[in-house]
Amino acid sequence: MRIQMPKQKLIYPLREVCRMTGLSDNLIKRWEVEFPQIKPVRNRAANRNYLLKDVKLIFYIRDLFYVHKLNYDEIREKVKNYNPNKDYDSPSYLKSLLSEIKIEIEDIRKLLEEPK
């Protein structure tokens, strides 16, 4: 069996973003209100789906809040100047990348364990 490189997803459901970030869905929803730059796309069932730029921003906010211990006002100022394409070596981006890889490995493992 040949394993191909998983494709980068275009959208991430709320459940997967919670799993990747280690944050609760209530906190992410609250951050949507606090930081209007996070704009999930809604499907027909009104479920939240996040673009990659939103996921990167959530990781960035999480890093500012939990690692750098900034308050909401300070984070708002930093988020105004945030450029998701610029921070490839930041701890937040690396954590998001590792979380994404972990999820893909879990999916591949489940596929390999399925009975034939």
Question: How many CB atoms lie under 10 A from the CB of residue 62?
Answer: 19
Q: What is the pLDDT of residues 35-49, one digit of tens each?
A: 999 999 998 898 999
pLDDT at 65: 92
CATH number of 11-113: 1.10.1660.10
What pLDDT, on a 0 to 100 scale, did the predictor assign at position 82? 80
Give the up-direction half-sphere exposure of residue 104: CA atoms within 13 A in the CB hemisphere: 14
pLDDT tens digits, residue range 69-94? 999 999 999 898 887 666 555 677 67
Integer Cα distance of 62 and 21 in angstroms: 8
Question: Which of 7, 4, 38, 3 has its CA nearest to residue 21?
Answer: 38
